[in-house]
Structure 1
């Protein structure tokens, strides 16, 4: 790495990273509130148009850990630019799409960009001053929730003013600028891990993820007890077991199973799974609730734009608390902040389940949810980054993001089944469906809080931490990583 490259101020690097992450987060949610518009424009039906979401989810789930691993091996900046380029290419295809097939292909290409988040974490860990790492990781993490929330807010105005094509033209401009800035301004990572991609393991990972996510995403329409869904779930379990066996015996695993067994890693991943169940289900069903005609006995008949504006305070709360989370973690520890975030979010979900008769009540509940999102996302990411070797940052944080996505898919599918279990006189879901659904999500967050209590009480510096068992096997690793371990959590 050249001296000039190393002199790039970390503030500049951070600005480039945040631009790319925000664009990725927006693409996760921009299409959700306008699926009915896409259904008409692409000449398809309600069942098939959901593949616009499912295809993106499947692609991102497969690509995220692979790009994280490639970043650790070949350079995080290089893979970050590649991920942004894939997002941009996918946006171009989607903007030009005139039928569902092309749109689905475009969303698959966009999903390849899912690696931006773990790659951004890795670059931060490698390049930032030690005392800035926790705050930067927290801010980037909060931007995922913020970007998803902003997508719900701006989708309606963009479609009304410019048409649905601009849901992709506008992010395309941002992504091209971010990719160019990353190429010329972000220094390449000095931390590399040796080896090669374990392609059989990558294939098995892809296979069980596709089987699982396809089953849970289609279960509400196919039926949870249908032969197709049960067969896919059984296949997912078998393939996952074979994948774990292959990874455990591999000299160069895609996902190091020893790393996944580290207590700080598996407990934080369990929290991520449960948190994903609750968060993505809320993103999908809160706008739907708000847009339900009041003649159904609930809802407010809001337009896409109006429902997005009602959720704007949630987005603001996520961002503000995400920024606060890193500083708070330095005082009380990331574990404590994570527990606090899950309980705050659970309070918001419970409030919505029990009181949603007015827009003011929904506003308060969703804002409390957003505050919990911001606190928990940032703390979760810091715990993962602190728990692994620097060379494993990309793949570990990528798997954590992946597990959260899997949780989101599970949560959205189960929520759909609960909400639509009983229809009211108008044919729309009954109010009790939403109440029961959000009570279920509240329970998921309470379980997440309990799981967070299992996380070890001592987290280390996210730039220098090497797990004790790694030090015993490779005593030189501590020197490579930077030396001493420092306490982050005073417990």
Structure 2
């Protein structure tokens, strides 16, 4: 017992390891986006095929994030953290040496398994850190996800110019190998375990509807929203989603406990995550594209990939600062207040982008507002969900929240692509009104997220565990008042 306690004394070492893992995953989310044309040319493929480099990663991460989180709840978060980081390292190595587009897509699927790093990180922080340090640590870790996305956009261009696109994978691979070894050596075993087996049937059902939905959404713009393939995928998702919910509700050992998902705090935060993800990830995808549009189109600034990344660097810094200070602000004002403010800032920034985008400095100011919104909202969502569920369900609850935010981002990016390209100039570039309407849509979604956030009931799950198979679904879900 003494040895176990001694091993857990310095939580700061654990936190450093977790941050390296989260940073590696977040870099892989964004660094590839700006250089897809480079990859397309290097691997002698076409535009429709190269988009699967993004789609494969998105689908894989969405499927594995909640599954790895739930497995970690059951068999140990430290053990599964090593698995998730190991998958990131293997996938990055395969991507770095890939000589064909098929191998690269397969590598991205393997990398997606690393999505489990996020819920496992939040669970380990809750297990290992002093109570007063949890909110701040989760805020910083959550902010790293947004920061990594911004850093990826900044360094992708210079890295490819100086070396090659292969280094977009070599660098995360090196970081991940270091994190994997460090996790195996220094991150302690989980003190909290959920008894029972993994429900393979419901895991397959969840995977099936997610794959159908996300492929349909991500490819709808290319295949046509009314095409047979896209409609069929949406029908499959519409049938399998309620089937999955029904199966989970009737299962003695659910993968995702539907009682947990019905906790008012959990489902309202998840709804905010969907709406916020819609707005946030779309700005990552289309703001650099707007900046790079030639001035001859009547808008845009004609900057390079590298220059657009540098213009958005202040956004990344603001995201990090927002996440770092979120813990202190939450202790004083509550995580709900931070989420409302974060969503409101997102709405303010996107409304500004809609009507004031004629000068580069305006874009920089608005992107700083986005950055603060990302940092505050990511931290607040994670803290609210973690604090509302039993400790034994932290991994799966965090995984589903992350997943829902990702689904929102996929839907938002697809819808925005359709809106922006609905009318094009003779040169093939979108007309300015396409961007204006698209940014306005993002502002409305962010506003909706802020409104929903106002109605989040804030509770804290009891840590009391009642013996028996119903412990999770009964005693552990009893809410208690909380200021978080």
Q: TM-score, normalised by structure 2?
A: 0.96
Match of 2:47 in 1: 46
Question: 1:31 Cα shift?
Answer: 0.2
Deviations 1:108-158 (A, max 9, x none): 000010000000000000000000001101111111000000000000111
- Aligned partners of 1:357, 1:41: CA distance in 2, in Å? 35
- Aligned partners of 2:287, 2:181: CA distance in 1, in Å? 36
Query: Any conservation in 1 of the 2:8–2:128 contact (CA below 8 Å)?
Result: no
Q: Give 3-state SS (helix, strand or coil) of 2:418's partner.
A: helix
Match of 1:369 in 2: 370
Match of 1:154 in 2: 155
Deviations 1:23-59 (A, max 9, x none): 1000000000111101101111111111000000000
Query: Any conservation in 1 of the 2:260–2:473 contact (CA below 8 Å)?
Result: no
Question: 1:320 Cα shift?
Answer: 0.3
- Aligned partners of 1:486, 1:408: CA distance in 2, in Å? 32
Match of 2:80 in 1: 79
- Aligned partners of 1:434, 1:285: CA distance in 2, in Å? 9
Match of 1:231 in 2: 232
Question: 1:225 Cα shift?
Answer: 1.6
- Aligned partners of 2:159, 2:13: CA distance in 1, in Å? 29
- Aligned partners of 1:220, 1:234: CA distance in 2, in Å? 17
- Aligned partners of 1:16, 1:35: CA distance in 2, in Å? 30
Match of 2:317 in 1: 316
Q: Give 3-state SS (helix, strand or coil) of 1:192's partner.
A: coil
Match of 2:201 in 1: 200
Deviations 1:306-353 (A, max 9, x none): 010000000000110111111111111111110010001110111111
Q: Which runs of 5+ in 2 are unaligned?
A: none
Alignment of 1:178-327 (within 5 A): 178-327=179-328
Question: 1:202 Cα shift?
Answer: 0.7
- Aligned partners of 1:180, 1:26: CA distance in 2, in Å? 19
- Aligned partners of 1:100, 1:307: CA distance in 2, in Å? 27
Match of 1:352 in 2: 353
Question: 1:229 Cα shift?
Answer: 1.2
Alignment of 1:69-218 (within 5 A): 69-218=70-219
Query: Any conservation in 2 of the 1:92–1:168 contact (CA below 8 Å)?
Result: yes
Match of 2:20 in 1: 19
Question: 1:10 Cα shift?
Answer: 0.6
Query: Any conservation in 2 of the 1:21–1:117 contact (CA below 8 Å)?
Result: yes
Match of 2:482 in 1: 487
Query: Any conservation in 2 of the 1:8–1:185 contact (CA below 8 Å)?
Result: no
Alignment of 1:467-486 (within 5 A): none
- Aligned partners of 1:4, 1:339: CA distance in 2, in Å? 38
- Aligned partners of 2:33, 2:401: CA distance in 1, in Å? 23
Question: 1:425 Cα shift?
Answer: 2.9
- Aligned partners of 1:466, 1:376: CA distance in 2, in Å? 30
Report which stretch shifted further, 250-259 or 6-15: 6-15
- Aligned partners of 1:166, 1:257: CA distance in 2, in Å? 42
Report which stretch shifted further, 131-140 or 292-301: 292-301
Match of 1:334 in 2: 335
- Aligned partners of 2:377, 2:434: CA distance in 1, in Å? 27
Query: Any conservation in 2 of the 1:355–1:361 contact (CA below 8 Å)?
Result: yes
Query: Any conservation in 2 of the 1:388–1:465 contact (CA below 8 Å)?
Result: no
Deviations 1:366-416 (A, max 9, x none): 111111111111000000001100000000000000000100100000000
Q: Give 3-state SS (helix, strand or coil) of 1:426's partner.
A: coil
Query: Any conservation in 1 of the 2:459–2:480 contact (CA below 8 Å)?
Result: no
Query: Any conservation in 1 of the 2:57–2:111 contact (CA below 8 Å)?
Result: yes
- Aligned partners of 2:304, 2:277: CA distance in 1, in Å? 27
Match of 1:414 in 2: 415
Question: 1:3 Cα shift?
Answer: 2.4
Q: Which runs of 5+ in 1 are unaligned?
A: none
Question: 1:453 Cα shift?
Answer: 1.5
Query: Any conservation in 1 of the 2:74–2:195 contact (CA below 8 Å)?
Result: yes
- Aligned partners of 1:485, 1:323: CA distance in 2, in Å? 27
Query: Any conservation in 2 of the 1:77–1:182 contact (CA below 8 Å)?
Result: yes
Q: Say if 1:450 and 1:100 are closer, same or farther in 2 by CA, change over 3 A.
A: same
Q: Say if 1:163 and 1:362 are closer, same or farther in 2 by CA, change over 3 A.
A: same
Question: 1:4 Cα shift?
Answer: 6.3
Deviations 1:242-273 (A, max 9, x none): 10111000000000000000100000000000
Query: Any conservation in 2 of the 1:117–1:398 contact (CA below 8 Å)?
Result: yes
Question: 1:8 Cα shift?
Answer: 4.4
Query: Any conservation in 2 of the 1:133–1:463 contact (CA below 8 Å)?
Result: no
Question: 1:485 Cα shift?
Answer: 5.3
- Aligned partners of 2:347, 2:143: CA distance in 1, in Å? 18
Deviations 1:410-466 (A, max 9, x none): 00000000010000132111111111001000000111111111210x343x89489
